[in-house]
Structures are given as structure tokens and as C-alpha cells.
A and B are shown apart, each in its own frame.
Chain A
């Protein structure tokens, strides 16, 4: 698991940004990149929940039609500033490497890859907080050898494998015991990848969840994921 961070090139942008506002800022037109994914709507919703509290957005994954309209308006304005919507991590790495993008929404993985390639980038969780992702393993109901699948899952949950996986992708391991293994492989990495972080850190991240019609407040006025997909297509055009 990990957060969706704000990443920028420190050579092109010398004053470190602290807010997501930079990716909606006309001053950076043509050098911004954000993910090509309907769930990106949640990032804009999170930002609006701070800048436009009158919209009443409490959970970025539970949006009513008027709230969605406001988010889509913001994202359509942003489109004019976006160099490219990145579909895969490699797209964003290329964009920063070639100097076509200076700032954007990223995963810690891209920041690690770029730093390893000698591109001066920095990444943070801005003051508004961040959305985040938590990947999990699933077993198909049609699996022919479910016991093998369970053995596999047990294997990937061991601290050692978790540590290797975390370092390779630049993510936070689910197993907190991986911390020592990580530091053994790469000193300081446990702290760097938040494997020892407090519960407060994790609660600052709004983890991805599938938007459904039921809002948290018991009403059925929220938009489901297919509506999010249509809205995202309208944003991208």
C-alpha cells in the first residue's frame, strides 16, 4: 500500500510546494501530469473538500451529482494545463526524464525510479492529505488448487518477502514485522517507506474504495463507479 503523492522536479521548481493547488495552477500550464484513471476524481474531490467546504464533501469517494459537477468543472479546467494523463508508471517516469513534466501526482515508485536515474525529484503528502491504494491478493472461486493459493499468500505475507516487495516497488508493507528486514536490506528504508508509521499517518490517507450509490449517511444519492467512468471520459475528452 502507499499514498498518491505530489512529486516535482526540484531543479525546475525550487520552492517546495505544500499544497495540491500547484497541479491546478495556471503558472504550471503544460508541465503538469496526473494519472489517467477515473479514481483521480477522488483526488480533486479531496482538494475541493478543503478549498470549497460549502460543497459539503466529507468522503472523496462518496459524491452526489452537484458535488461531482463541481469536481468535473475543476478537472476540465485542469485539462488545459495537463501535458499528459499518465496511464502507467513508466509514462510518468518518461515525462519527468525528458523534462516534459515538472510536477504531478505520482506513486512513491516513480519518485524512487527517477532518483535512481539521476533526475532531481522530491515527493510529499501535501497539507490536504492524500488518497492512497492498498493492494490485496484474491483467490478466484474457480481456483483449481485453493490450498496452493493459500500457501502462496502465506509466503508473500512473510516479513522477508514483504520487505523485498516494499523496496522493489517503493510501497509500505502490510506486515509491520517487515521493518527490520527492510533496514537490513537497505538501511533507513523502514522509516522512508513508512513501515513504522503511527496510525495517525494511515488515517491521513484516504484509501481507494469503489464508489457506490449508497452514501455513508444512509442515502442513495451518490454516484456509482460507472458514473465516475463516464465523468472521467468527459474530463479527458
Chain B
């Protein structure tokens, strides 16, 4: 860097960045803090600390079954979305910019259009076809809006891959399929994985579309919504959030590492 640094401007940027980060993390800190609140009624500041809500939550059957359903829905939807999103990216790679933009636009719709719209549309669709609202409708809905996450990640990676790589493999006598499996796929693995983590997170926390497509299934966010609205299990909600973060912190770090590596390998 040859051009002169401006310490005052640097200072201002850093201060602003830290303030914004604080804004982003403050509510989370509060949620995590209240997991240790002894009282069942949340009042600031906390009067007494306790671990009793951890055992209460662990013993709560409803929480356990909601957690299980959420894991199943998010897992299945992520797998389906991974297959479909990767196929879409591979199929669109090499098409004209125009068709690529159109395809990307279409894939983005389910996540960019407001959840209430996607939710009520799918609700009317299944109702019209007399399909009952079950676990399956929930997975279909979640897959639909998770696809684009995988697609974006894989597409970004594909565009950075020099086409010469696969051509070289084919010049050396590899079939297109072999060239794909041995050259392209391993290079895509990182971006697929980080996309999967993001898709899983998205599905795991989705409320609005789920409300309209879940029928009598209760996912974890739907249980939380109920708990907040009835106002009777707030401490358990905080414990659940605490536990989810504690369990997922490692996958998040792994995911960010994968994404960072993927973007560095130009």
C-alpha cells in the first residue's frame, strides 16, 4: 500500500464497525443471559441466577419432539435442495448471460418473495389439490426456498473454475462424466458444504412459511412462537437458543472456513 493512511478515518471506521457489531450481538447476549435467569418472568436487570431452566427444558417432551421434527425437516430439505441446487448450477453453467440471469431470478423468487406470500400460495395450492398438511408438505416448502442457497454457492464456485481444467482432463482421454467426478466435483465440495450449512440454518429457523404449511406438526420455531405468545415458557426458549448455539458454533466456524477457502482458491 503506497497511498497515505488516514489514522482519523481509520479510527472512525473501526469505531463504527465495532458499534454495528455490538448492535448485531446485543439481543443475542440478552437471550443467552436470560437462560440463567431464576425467575419465570423476565425483568431487567436479572435478580437471581439459576440453572433450573436447563433441567426443566431437558425434561420437556414438547421441546424434544419439536427439536426432532425441526432436525428432520431441515435435514431432508437440505439434502433435496443440495441435489436440486447443484443440478441447476451445473446445468446453467455455460449458458448465455441472459438465460443465466433469468434462471437465477426464478430460483431466487421463493426466498426473495415475502414468506407470507410463499406460505399462503403453497397453502392454497395444497388445499386445492386436497393434499393434507403433514411433514411432507413442510419438507416440500422448505426445499423450495433452500435450493437457491446451494445454487448461489455452487454457481459462484463454478464461475471461478477455469474451463480449461475439465477440458484438460477430457484431452487426456477422460469421459465427460469421469472428468466431472474426478475434477469438478471435488473442487465444488467446499462450496456445497458451506451452502448446506446455510440452507440448514435457514430451514431450522423458518417460521412464516412453516406456519402455513405445517398442519399439526410443531417445529422448534413454531414451538417457540407458541411459547412467546402464550408467555408461559419464555425461560425455556432462552435455554433452547443457548443450547442450539452451543451445539452449532463448531459447524458455523467450519462453514465460514469452508466458504473462506472456497473464495480464496481463485
Contact = CB atoms under 8 A, between A and B. Distances in A.
A contacts B: CB pair < 8 Å: yes
A87 B43 CA distance: 21
A144 to B, nearest CB: 16
B230 A97 contact: no
Interface stretch (A2-10, A88-96, A181-189, A217-225): A88-96
B3 interface: no
Contact of A97 (B41, B228, B232): B41
A97 B229 contact: no
Interface string B227-244: 011111000000000000
A118 to B, nearest CB: 8
B41 A89 contact: no
Q: Chain A, interface size: which category?
A: under 10
Contacts of B228: 90
B194 to A, nearest CB: 38
A42 to B, nearest CB: 24
Interface in B174-231: 228-231
A97 B231 CA distance: 12
B41 A88 contact: no
18 contacts: A87-B229, A88-B229, A88-B230, A88-B231, A89-B230, A89-B231, A90-B228, A90-B229, A90-B230, A90-B231, A90-B232, A91-B229, A91-B231, A93-B231, A94-B231, A97-B41, A97-B43, A117-B41
Contacts of B41: 97, 117
Q: Chain B, interface size: which category?
A: under 10
Q: Nearest 7 CB-CB pairs, A to B?
A: A90-B231, A117-B41, A88-B229, A90-B230, A93-B231, A90-B229, A97-B41
B38 to A, nearest CB: 14
Nearest to B230: A90
Nearest to A116: B41
Contacts of A88: 229-231
A25 B174 CA distance: 83
A93 B43 CA distance: 12
A86 B43 CA distance: 19
B31 to A, nearest CB: 16
Nearest to A92: B231
Interface string A74-94: 000000000000011111011
Given A87-B229, A91-B231, 7 more contacts: A89-B231, A90-B228, A90-B229, A93-B231, A97-B41, A97-B43, A117-B41
A134 to B, nearest CB: 22
Interface string A81-122: 000000111110110010000000000000000000100000
Nearest to B229: A88
